[in-house]
Every structure is written in C-alpha cells, then in structure tokens.
Homo-oligomer: A and B are copies of this chain.
Amino acid sequence: MAKAKRTPKWQRDPEGMRLRILEAAKQEFSAHGLAGARVDRIAAKAGANKRMLYYHVGNKDELYLAVLEGAYDKIRSEERGLDLEHLDPPEAIRRLIEFTWNYFLRNPEFLSLLQTENLARAKHLKKSTKVKSMHSPFVEMIRTVVRRGVDGGDFQVAVDPVQLYISIAGLCFFYLSNSATLSVIFGRDLLDKKAKDERLAHMVGLVLAALTGQSVALFEIAKAPKSRSVVAQTV
C-alpha cells in the first residue's frame, strides 16, 4: 500500500471553525426559526461535519443561544460607539433613529432572531447570564439627551427614555420585520429605495415633531427640497 495522503485534507482551525459554525447557524436560525432550523444544513453551510457542532458549541439549543447572545453583543457594541453626548438633542435623536434603522437594514438576521426568540417567550434568553449583564447603558445615554433637550428648551416633554427607545425601535422594527405581509396587504413594495427613504423621513418627522412640538417636515423639506413631501403629503 502506498503511503498516500501527503497533503492534509483540512487545516486545524478550531477558532475559525467555531466562528464559521456560529455564522452558519445564525443564517439558518434566522431563515427558518428554531424548530425549522436543520442541524445538518448548519454543518454543511459551515463546511463542517455535524459532529463538529456538538464538539465546538453544543447541542441545537446551546448553539441557538450562542447565536442569540452574539447578536445582542454585536448591536450593543455598535450602539456604544454612537456617542450622542455632543450633538444637540434633536440631532442626537435623529441620529439614533437613523442608526437603528440602518442597523436593522444591515442586519436582517437580527430581526428574525428576535422574532424567533419572542415567539418562544424569551425562554432561552432568560437562561442567558451574559445578556442580562448587558443592560444597555444606552438607556442612560438617551435619558441624558432627553434631559438636555428639555433643559435647553428644545423638547417639550421629558419622555421616559425606555418608552422612547421602544418607540423608535418599534417604528423601525415593525416596518422591516413585517414588510413581507404588509407589502402583500397594501399592495406596494415597502422595500424599494424610495419607500425606505420615505419611511425614514416619516419616522424622524414623527418623533421629532412629537418631542419638539414643531412640524419637522419643515426643516426636513428645507434640507432636501426636491423630494416633494417626506413626512407630509398634500391631500
């Protein structure tokens, strides 16, 4: 028998493999949900063997939780880089909305994972020790912005930062995560460029108008004079 096999069939790369597995799992879980996800497909997509999943991460549930924690970790860390402190309050809120919107656009799997986890009534997330300790200092960031806005006279009311955050996230989240059914219902494509631009303008206008008491459509239109209405639309 010739000795053969001079070239290694694979390189050892445990950390790389772990990452590929998690990435593949993220796609699979977000595309099919927890129950619909197939362990074999994850393995194949990661260029790995099914046994590897169990070796490197654990069983299906642990894998799912790891993906979920990773997703939260990612958004929280990006949020931290937002520093809204040295913007004047209305501009800070605008930036927050734009960040949230764009993050959701860039990371659709995050939306799907959240939906999946909420469908499961956060059963898995509750078990996570990591995520609980991540309570966003983000809320404090927003609280500060609101306080500054009120003190400086820009904002009319000192809104609860958690409510505000949930509202902003909700305005973005619902539109994007439900765009499929909404598009069918309303018979328009909500994901083409124009629709997305209009939505962003609408959300910024809605929230800022509520906070400042002035129709934001005004300076919105001033900024982009050619787009004919943005929040407002002549009747």
Contacts and interface: CB of A to CB of B under 8 A. Distances in A.
A116 interface: yes
Return the 4 tightest CB-CB contacts between A and B, nearest first.
A170-B174, A35-B36, A122-B180, A157-B232
Contact of A118 (B150, B159, B180): B180
A49 interface: no
A186 B210 contact: no
Counting contact residues on chain A (CB < 8 A from B), the size range is 35 or more
Contacts of A117: 180-181
A135 interface: yes
A81 interface: no
Given A33-B116, A120-B180, A166-B199, 17 more contacts: A33-B35, A115-B118, A116-B119, A121-B180, A125-B180, A131-B185, A132-B187, A151-B235, A156-B209, A162-B186, A162-B188, A170-B173, A171-B171, A171-B174, A206-B207, A209-B213, A213-B214
B112 A202 contact: no
A75 B116 CA distance: 23
Interface in A99-148: 112, 114-122, 125-126, 131-132, 134-136, 139, 143, 146-147
Given A115-B115, A170-B171, A170-B175, A158 B122 contact: no
A215 B211 CA distance: 8
Contact of A213 (B126, B188, B206, B215): B215
A59 interface: no
Contacts of A34: 33, 36
A41 to B, nearest CB: 13
A185 B135 contact: yes
A37 to B, nearest CB: 8
A198 B163 contact: yes
Name which of A120, A160, A185 has the most chain B CB atoms within 10 A of its CB.
A185
B114 A178 contact: yes
Given A118-B115, A159-B233, A178-B118, A167 B33 contact: no
A183 interface: yes
